[in-house]
Structure 1
Amino acid sequence: MSNLFSVFDPSTSNFNMSLNWISTWLGLMLIPTSMWLIPSRHSTMWSSLLTKLHNEFKILLGYKKINKGSTFLFVSLFSLIMFNNFLGLFPYIFTSTSHLTMTLTLALPLWVSFMMFGWINNTNHMFEHLVPQGTPAALMPFMVCIETVSNVIRPGTLAVRLTANMIAGHLLLTLLGNNGPTITHSLLWLLIIAQILLLILESAVAVIQSYVFAVLSTLYSSEVN
């Protein structure tokens, strides 16, 4: 079991140095070099993806309410999470997004800043969100409690959703991979095909979960305006 979970252990390191978390910032070392290279298909595709995300987040935030540059925060958040999700698919690389230390660090400050901004600047608007429109008077106290609880657990659900999806796929790949040396040769090709299909699924999950995290953060920010 210690070997199975060693990929998720932040304390495992080489040369008595805790170098695992450095993988989170490897992308920052690669970004400046791409600015000086001739645009390739890769850079063009990445630019078009970020442009589409910018336009979508701009619609979610609203044309009139949007502050200049606010969408770039969520586009950068999407890029950071997706890079770390993909990085964790490579062998022997620490997956930082599979830890609540990383995901809560992203979700909690965002949620706290949204709540502080909303309650300080738009107090009446925030009170309106506690009681949905058309709620009967008898149910209003219960709706206030339900809406308050659902609002408070938002950073936790954001963090746990990303962490659980990253851990589940990696554990499944590790469990199947550990059966490789003991499985018969006739079934080995089935294991290889299953691993390839799971790797494709995990690649899709890496993109989807980073997109979900960024979109939900954008929606939470749009509610406080």
Structure 2
Amino acid sequence: MKLKGFVLRSKQLGSNLKHITAFTDKLGKVDFIVKLKRGDFPLKFDLFSLSSFQLNQKGEGYELKEADLIKSYFPESMEKFFYLSKISKLLVPYHLVESKKLFKLIEAYFSVEKSYSVAYTMFLLKFAFIEGIFPVLTRCVNCSSKKVISFSIEKGGVVCQSCLNSKSFSWNFELSKLALNLAKNSFEKMKDIKISYVKLEKINKVFEAHIRYRLS
């Protein structure tokens, strides 16, 4: 099977062996072992590369037959490296099936060249939406009260004082409004708007925990 994939993890196993984790257009997230040959162009297996892979199924896994580099997204700055690493680390732990929407989302956000804090939060929110686990943010998920004060990981959304439980994060309506605005708009529209880094980090912390709970 010939497919395209973004390299999310590239782990050296020996002098000529690599363990690759990639999100592909036809199989979703896959893992396979690469045996490097003399004269091989290693960039096609490097982190953040978009490459074409010829894979054969072997038992429950896949064997690489051929690969070619399409585009390298390896960053020139540490800021972008950190940003792309966060996206990769977000995706690697989970079983992710084939999704054209997620493939296009990765492609779009790997191409970002500025406003990385905003971009990561937007990727996080849109990823949750694509996976069908976007939480309830406009009313208490338990009783529908509008007076929300917290985010419940167990209940999958915001809660009021009466429905508060131990596995909750501090939250407010302002954060809900910001998260919904970032989720529904394009990066092009939001990239130059000044947004509080503290608020972005609060949203990140909650959504990362929510995604772990729902997908693990």
Larger Rg: 1
TM-score relative to the length of structure 1 = 0.27
Which structure features the higher share of helix residues? 1
TM-score relative to the length of structure 2 = 0.28
Higher RCO structure, 1 or 2 (CA under 8 Å, sep 6+): 1
